[in-house]
Structure 1
């Protein structure tokens, strides 16, 4: 493939944008290819190269790059009426009512502008509501670029994971390993009356794809209720992707006190949201005293795109289509991995997928999960499948990034560049696209 135009664009970008990119994950070595446009389930770069796209904007694009006609029409008509107003609009009420009707935890919702802003606001809300300071998070979980969660270590030995964050900030955050019941029970035994909330993704989605072991979320629910703390689900990735319109909390049958959203709830436009019990969400100003505000919050174009996208999904076979393709894809990957790289782990659910380059596997894979790891204790892979962020960090990321990813790109497949970010199927993809992807995996592995 020729990448001369992308190389020239990257050379220009290095002079005006730090690292040449506006999000660090886009810093592909030796340089990223620059996208010119999308086309259904594909993207075309600045040099005219065409790729099957399974990144989908890192999750927001449930429909790929061809929005359904009602969504396109809503976006175009809303833009034509004016960019924004600094005043409420009916469409934000429509979207709020839709989310409240479908997501188990949501009685009220506040819209913001990004997943990061949503989790920042949710943490402030939890602290304001409970009058406590400490937040329990999962090691390897990702909740955006914010001071309260960019923290490493374990209880009593924590520090910021980025320069620019005061050490004192980290002292209020307690990281625990995902899926470790004993660890979180010990933390509550030691700090129960100081903990404002537990913040977790229902599925680790930005550190590989890691399912909860049976009973883990139920344990978090019981512990938070027993100690008058809040349970916050970060559904920025899983929201309206896993579990359909009920989101992952509906799929797992565990209802948090507060849920954060992003990505799909805005129909592919910048968005975030904090939903939950009315008595909690009403603590936000102006109803309560926990300050939260934003010039672009509830932006009419985003609200129109989000509302029409979710309404279209409710009225059509969107989730049936993408989930069936996801199942087909993970089943095919499981067969390929068993033959080509038996130590590797296929992960994912619904329309999410990933092959984790785990270093060890069982002697036999007979009876293993057929379409992505489910943390099933009787699966022969159970002791080898990643259970937390540290397990994913032990995977062969350099092999993925330096050998596998370029080999897939040369076959016209666009995947996330490392072991950590999830990959996604869209409504624009077809069974033929899945077979093309599987053939590329077979060749690259």
Structure 2
């Protein structure tokens, strides 16, 4: 073990000791939960060592844990919580829906058509859509459409991708997927390699599926050249282009696809199918998949016997809250302002990071903090550039950073992901920048490159 790694590990051990001492109720709750939940957990990404904090409540863009500590919430429910924890419009809509309409009507409603129109109006490439219960479901249904439309089963995806709980792709393998043998895995941001991969699989692949920014992979943005090369090459070879905007649709009023322009033609992206979820229903469970009308007709019960069912697909709470949230809360103006604030934060973080191992990647209001041997966000093009061993100096620094900012009242994801919430202020951003500056100053000998 190098002297720097030993020093970083010693600091982490001391910080984790303070963490345990400050959070006895979270520790006890974790131990109690482990009796009934494997690892005391039913959502793996929220696990943290030595034990996860247990939150008791949230209001606005703040959360409070069982031990009474308040945090500036920069987790933002992994992009889903853009509305915060107590938005008045959402609270009033939920109450009015339950009191005046009911819970589950078991029938079609006006609300689902209103919400569908609002989504289609917002995203130019979506002519028609269907709702479901999560982003995972949305991607599964989009893949089903592609397979039905083409009669093929193979799907081109990219290393580091996360398209839902059963659609996870690790380093060169389908690490947690259904239909494990049906995946062709390419390298993210590899323009020429991906064009070859699509061309070589003409008549074999039903679709190419990707995120415009890999979220769980480390908030790695795709280049415009890469995204448009996929769209053009897929079209040339009869392969359906599916853009997963479950998370990235919050990054611009018309989704990320609306602001990624062709390097030569200047046109935005226009995927055949788009998947949505997370934020669009005001924080309630939701998913949606949509795109070209001819493709969506696969699920038109007037023309097809292929069923798309789900008890809660059109549940009245998600339909009414989603419609009002998109119409009145996360308006195009609010979306632009929040993402401009995110750009300010990321620029500030990367300015602080100069000459250090810290690098911050992302787009708009969603980003991730990394610790890399060479540092520099421009060095990150794919998940392979972020590979860090858990026991390495960079891995220890990542863990030390998390414990450090938590102790100072800022709630971020253990893996370093940040997503801003409506109501986050310039003062909140400056406060977090101050915490990061103090961390880099205190541990300058460890973080310098």
In structure 2, stretches of 5+ residues that fail to align are 1-18, 261-267, 441-449
Instruction: Work out whether 1:333 is the aligned partner of 2:346.
Output: no
How many matched pairs?
408
- TM-score, normalization by structure 2: 0.86
Match of 2:97 among 78, 83, 86: 78
| CA 1:51–1:216: 2 relative to 1, 3 Å | same
Alpha-carbon shift at residue 39 of structure 1 (Å): 1.6
> What pairs up with 1:51-130 in 2 under 5 angstroms?
51-67=71-87, 69-80=88-99, 81-130=101-150
Structure-2 separation of matches of 1:33 and 1:136: 38
1:409 maps to 406
**Residue number in structure 2 paired with 1:215:** 225
Match of residue 196 from structure 2: 186
Counterpart-to-counterpart distance in 2, 1:232 and 1:260: 8
| Correspondence for 1:399 among 376, 396, 401 | 396
For 1:170 and 1:322, locate their aligned partners in 2 and report how far apart those are by CA, in whole Å: 38
* Counterpart selection for 1:206 from 203, 216, 221: 216
Q: TM-score, normalised by structure 1?
A: 0.87
* 2:229 matches 1:229: no
Confirm or deny: 8 A CA contact 1:221 1:256 kept in the other structure.
Answer: yes
Q: Paired residue for 2:291, among 258, 266, 276?
A: 276
User: Is 2:338–2:422's contact at 8 Å kept on the other side of the alignment?
Assistant: yes
- Aligned residue among 371, 378, 385 for 1:357: 371
Label 1:397 to 1:119 Cα distance change in 2 as closer, same or farther (>3 A). farther
Alpha-carbon offset, residue 98 of structure 1:
0.5
1:438 aligns with 2:433: yes
Considering only aligned residues, what root-mean-square deviation do their CA atoms show, in Å? 2.0
Cα separation, 2, equivalents of 1:218 and 1:13: 47
Once the two structures are TM-superposed, the CA of residue 188 in structure 1 deviates from its matched residue by 2.4
Give the match's secondary structure for 1:51.
strand
8 Å CA contact retained: 2:338, 2:420: yes
Q: Report the Cα distance in structure 2 between the residues aligned to 1:389 and 1:208, rounded to whole angstroms.
A: 7
- Aligned mate of 1:249, from 241, 246, 257: 257
Return 305-314 or 55-64, whichever deviates more.
Answer: 305-314
1:276 shift after superposition = 0.6
Structure number with higher helix proportion: 2
2:446 corresponding residue in structure 1: none
The CA deviation string for residues 301-350 of structure 1, in whole angstroms up to 9 with x for no partner, is: 111221111112465741243123212211221221115x2x43222222
Deviates more, 1:116-125 or 1:321-330: 321-330
Separation of aligned partners in 2, 1:185 and 1:320:
33
1:173 corresponds to 2:198: no
Does 2:363 match 1:344?
Answer: no
**Aligned equivalent of 1:16:** 36
Would the aligned equivalents of 2:210 and 2:242 in 1 still touch at CA under 8 Å? yes
